[in-house]
Amino acid sequence: MTSRIRVEALVNDFQARAEHLAAKLGLPLQLHEADFSLQVSKNGLQLQKLGYEKLGPVHVDFVNGGVAHRRLYGGGSGQMIAKAIGVNKILHPRILDGTAGMGKDAFLLASLGCEIILIERQPLIGALLEDGLARGASDSKVAPIIARMRLLKCNSIEVMLNWKSELPQVIYLDPMFPHRKKTALMKKDMRLFRPIVGDDEDAPALLAAALALAIYRVVVKRPRKASCIEGPKRSYALVGKSNRYDVYHKKTLKS
């Protein structure tokens, strides 16, 4: 069943923006029996699940919270994702993130000095991400990082198959994880988005397009025990406690 989503302003001063957003996304302003509310608040754009489940709103924040802590204390280029991508003190690859989502991994890689293009095809998530990038750009400490991030709201496969710009050195993919029975273990934003987004059933086509485009490697984030995406065999994997990074090597990264 398709999730029912409405747009609303939490403060009257934001009504005009809510109306503009509703028209842009093709969503209603007044929908009494909605499942989700896309809210324009004083803290930016946020998505709230309505009903009995006690989940707070989700929004993109590159200045505060967990993303900020990871930027400051996460371990820099020693983090597993950085090693999978090939980031070090000398190498800062040009990256295409084909499944941007909330932009957390892309922001980390940009904070390490990488130029990164983010692609998000789900309009609702794209709107949240665009709002977070705009707010981040107004913060003096985060703005230089945001300047290395460029968002495209479109279908990754179509874009990669018709790529016209400078080729990405590395392509990073994080398709929606396979459905888990223990949903309580999933992060709040994933629990919120799954009814809206569903699984990325075209992940094999996404991987194929990425492998055809990337110069040096493609990196795919997966749950630790999940099967590989159908297609060519991975070159190797870096495995953590809950996730792993499947690396598809094409040729050696160079500065």
The binding site for S-adenosyl-L-methionine consists of 120-121, 174
Say which DSSP state 4 is in. Answer: P
Element (H, E) at 213: helix 203-213
Please tell me the distance from the alpha carbon of residue 165 to that of residue 216, in angstroms, as a whole number: 16
Instruction: Report whether 135 contacts 44 (CB < 8 A).
Output: yes
b (16+ CB within 10 A) / e for 135-162: bbeeeeebeebbebbebbbeebbebbee
Instruction: Report whether 111 contacts 187 (CB < 8 A).
Output: no
Closest among 58, 65, 59 to 188, alpha carbons compared: 58
Q: How far is CA 117 from the centre of its chain?
A: 11
**Which residues does the annotation place in the binding site?**
120-121, 174
Closest among 172, 78, 164, 70 to 119, alpha carbons compared: 172
Please tell me the distance from the alpha carbon of residue 120 to that of residue 130, in angstroms, as a whole number: 10
Ranges of H-type helices in 1-99:
15-25, 65-73, 80-85
